Structure 1
């Protein structure tokens, strides 16, 4: 078991280092000079060279990379000239909004997939066909395009939900930050108007971000449940007089969750780090707009730190999914112990 843990941790470290190295290479291969962008179009050559030395861009490539990793581990993520503050402060101040959007979208995707897959597997026929159609449409719809459609239909035309206006209506003041989630912080204050307004602003971006993983998990879980439903032990359970629906929930659904659980950690990490376009569409004050500006202005410190954080989140999501699988499935614990 300890050997397996060591191997996974070593593979995780290698993955993080490779992701950071690739991003480091790609960013420096982009055309343009970040020192000139920072100094301004009217700056002289001496000013540009001084800026380059201040950024460490005059150092050899691998020296720059090693310094970046060392500073990141120490908590010094550099200064973002596109935002005008330290990268660590800029990212942490906006991650709460991104986490709130991603977490609610993740919960919607999980619950929606469980409901859709259970209905489709329990009553094959038209319902299964409709669920498959939904999964097909969801898998083929980019989240930013879904967001634009939802804004046009439900905000501009019907006026049911707020459009691209951020997390709150202009007349409301954000609550004191306790969790960073406006819905929860307003609820802790007993502010019902704030809760309803922040929840209303979440509806369309959450749907936009949740549709793709919802469709993916629905398709995965439906296929697993269809395979499990024809296993001999299900027939044995039914032969003992257990009703169809309890059998479906306790045995078919429960034994089909393993592949889904292993995917959930990666899906959540993907939704946190991949919400950039959805945040841009809905003017959501997360890391999306800030990262877009950082890429266009070649803000190395900001973009590199975000990519490295994303790689760490992916690795953590994979490890958590694997750990939960081992907790659920005794066969995985036994195989790990045998090694």
Structure 2
């Protein structure tokens, strides 16, 4: 029988009464984890032998809660978004530490998510100001705003790059999903789903093929969408093919992660549970596999991209936990 076991329990802050950990992400080879939180710090950890070892703590660069951090695919850069409306870009130096390279400003309110594209050419950011910004990285490593997208009518909770096609998805408090592509001059809308969930769309993730997108909402629903006709990107559409409602909870789902190695989906949220699901593309069915309850609300989860059974979780009690999923 499948099960989930906690193998690492780490305080994001030295304070035993630490405030919540808001976000976390692995680098592309799964050796390093970045965590951010209400204590306004960024921490980079080395992961080995089921343990997290602190490599670097960054504090003082942003003056409000830090909401999200994301490694570039090459590993040289780290983008960090804060509720002070700034995005800081760090670059790794000769001492193997990240140091500030750029400070990006322009959003009017809290930055909720930042995401490098796989090719490193683009950075997408979103905010409580209802906008999605696209920043282009030039050959000198400088960032220029190319597009400011104002398609949402409320907070934008996440932006997400398709791993195969040059498509960007966003979701938020207006219950909608938006998908964009670049037309060689500007980022424009490919598709809009106005009532993707019955309430806020908190999180999304693509499978390894880029064909399917899973979303998680405050309506404690999981939904899987097929990306149809992705080439050319202007023809791409989102078609809902499966859904699953967790009837044993009234709490929101805050975070979802699709494992590219096992094809399993992990989701977590306000009821403190990590739930694992499988998705069958032939029968178009979402099936529960296993679940476990942790000690606090879970704000973010992420499968390790190099380990088929490892999940990182960021909790409201200030801790970061590494979980092992057994078959």
- Shared fold (TM-score greater than 0.5)? no
TM-score when scaled to structure 1?
0.22
Asked which structure has the greater RCO (Cα within 8 Å, sep 6+), the reply is 1
Which structure has the larger Rg over C-alpha atoms? Answer: 1
Structure with a larger share of its residues in strand: 2
